[in-house]
Amino acid sequence: MRAHQRITSAIGIVGLVAVQLACGRAHEAVPEQRPARDVSVATATSVSQPALFEAGGVVQARTTATLVARIMASVREVRVRPGDRVRAGQVLVVLDDRDLAAGARMAQSSASAASQGLVAATSERDAAGAALVLARASHDRVSGLYAKKSATSQEMDEAVAALRAAESRVASADARVKQAEAAGMSASAAGDAASVTASFAVIAAPFAGVVTEKLVDPGNMAAPGTPLVRLEDTGGFRLEVRVDESRAQHVRTGDRAEVVLDGAAAGGDALRTAGEIVEVGRAIDADSRAFLVKIALPESEGLRSGMFGRALIRGPERRLLTIPRAAVVRSGQLTSVFVIEKDRARLRLVSLGETGEAGVEVLAGLSHGETVVVNPPPGLVDGQPVRVSGRSAETRGDAR
């Protein structure tokens, strides 16, 4: 593609140069009669520079949330509108919770009853324990008398039976206490569950941010999973782009990328900024054969979710011919430079490519090592004598 562009540019330049030379011959005497001008020059240089490839995408907030209903209930209040800034924990939507509140109160009552049942069971166990102490003491006395032949077998049997009955009552009381404890724990858990379910009727902001959409109005019926409000954190934005799988080896987390955002959404002028690649998708989409790349953007007042942006990502190294931007002369759609040939300035049409840190890329019209005029003085024309007063090492400047 780039080779075809170079060939096309070269053909156009040859035709334009031919016209220019033909016109120049008709007025050849005019530049020679002009006095020599002092100019600064620079050399067209071949440099190695990473190729840039472009990927388009959409700006998204770093953190977004769609708040949904978790219960079946009608909407009582919607307390925010799109564009409102909210703080973390602020109530956004209120659902009808009367039946849930009644269920929570019922569960709390059951928990209280279970607590009282535990108290009663504990008291019964204490009474059974006291009776067991008395039965054991009676058994020991009768047993001693029976050993001395002072108590009858009937009395001994009655003492043993009373002891066994007291032990059984203690075991039963222990079981009832454990049962009451379990019932109390179950009632308490049911009360907690009812309270949590009742809390679902109040939808609060999980973080501080801006409301981007209001999806329900009071009176609507909300079912579990129904979107209610969309919220985004404006503390950070990312440009999410899709990159062709053939460029996967050139995209790495931590690399820098230049980002150009759509001018219309940014307020009329295109917003240029530098971003950092923070996430590279591991899976490639089967249909588009591309993977997702997320680029973190610095804070800026002009950023909005949904803005279209283009990311310029560095690719493999390539050789290109560059000149300072200040050497370029623009006339309408034509770009040209003054080339020094035998102490004269010769206007030459050139085809330019991308502008980078090394200067402007020249696709056609110049060769490596040729000398060009930097910041041509006003009135300099093709063929005019010049004197080199300085050699500029500047590779950046504003094109005329």
Render 20-73 in DSSP notation, one character per residue: HHHHHHHTTHHHHHSPPEEEEEEE-EEEEEEEEEEEEEEEEEEEEEEEE--S-E
Amino acid 274: pLDDT: 84
Residues 87 and 209 in one domain: yes
Amino acid 283: pLDDT: 83
Backbone phi and psi for residue 382, each to the nearest 5 degrees, phi listed first: -65, 130
| 147, part of any domain | yes
Amino acid 243: pLDDT: 86
| 310, part of any domain | yes
Which of 347, 332, 338 is CA-nearest to residue 374?
338
Residues 171 and 106 in one domain: yes
pLDDT (tens digit per residue) in 106-136:
877 777 887 888 888 888 888 888 888 988 8
Do residues 354 and 52 touch, judged by C-beta distance below 8 A?
Answer: yes
Average pLDDT taken over every residue of the chain: 81
Residues 111 and 172 in one domain: yes
Residue 398 has pLDDT above 50, yes or no: no
pLDDT (tens digit per residue) in 22-81:
444 434 445 556 788 888 888 888 887 767 778 888 888 888 899 999 988 899 999 999
Residues 174 and 292 in one domain: no
Do residues 331 and 399 touch, judged by C-beta distance below 8 A?
Answer: no
Please, which pLDDT band fits residue 268 given cuts at 50, 70 and 90? Answer: low
* pLDDT: which is higher, 66 or 196: 66
Distances (CA, A) of 107 to 70, 112, 113, 115, 201: 20, 9, 10, 12, 17
Which of 48, 93, 40 is CA-nearest to residue 357?
48
Strand partners, 275: 257
Please, which pLDDT band fits residue 163 given cuts at 50, 70 and 90? Answer: confident
Residues 109 and 163 in one domain: yes
Written as one string, the DSSP assignment of 27-42 is TTHHHHHSPPEEEEEE
Residues 276 and 345 in one domain: no
d(CA 284, CA 296): 21
Residues 286 and 331 in one domain: no
Residues 92 and 215 in one domain: yes
* pLDDT: which is higher, 278 or 191: 278
Amino acid 227: pLDDT: 93
Residues 151 and 268 in one domain: no
| 257, part of any domain | yes
Last residue of one domain, picked from the residues 317, 349, 369: 317
| Pairing label, strands 37-43, 308-323 | unpaired
Average pLDDT over residues 188-199: 78
* Tally of structural domains, the chain: 4
| 400, part of any domain | no
User: Residue 82 sits in a domain of what CATH number?
Assistant: 2.40.50.100
User: Residue 273 sits in a domain of what CATH number?
Assistant: 2.40.30.170
Residue 267 has pLDDT above 80, yes or no: no
Residues 90 and 206 in one domain: yes
Amino acid 31: pLDDT: 57
**Range with the lowest mean pLDDT among 68-72, 234-238, 291-295, 370-374?**
234-238
Angle at 310 between CA 306 and CA 315, to 5 degrees: 145
| 244, part of any domain | yes
Range of the domain at 209: 70-96+201-225
Amino acid 261: pLDDT: 85
Amino acid 17: pLDDT: 45
User: Residue 180 sits in a domain of what CATH number?
Assistant: 1.10.287
Do residues 262 and 309 touch, judged by C-beta distance below 8 A?
Answer: yes
Last residue of one domain, picked from the residues 297, 317, 337: 317
| 279, part of any domain | yes
| 196, part of any domain | no
| 374, part of any domain | yes
Average pLDDT over residues 318-334: 87
Last residue of one domain, picked from the residues 317, 338, 367: 317
Angle at 141 between CA 136 and CA 147, to 5 degrees: 120
Amino acid 30: pLDDT: 54
User: Residue 31 sits in a domain of what CATH number?
Assistant: 2.40.420.20
Calculate the dihedral angle through the C-alpha atoms of 143, 144, 149, 155, rounding to the nearest 10 degrees. Answer: -30
Residues 121 and 156 in one domain: yes
d(CA 387, CA 375): 14
Residues 106 and 130 in one domain: yes
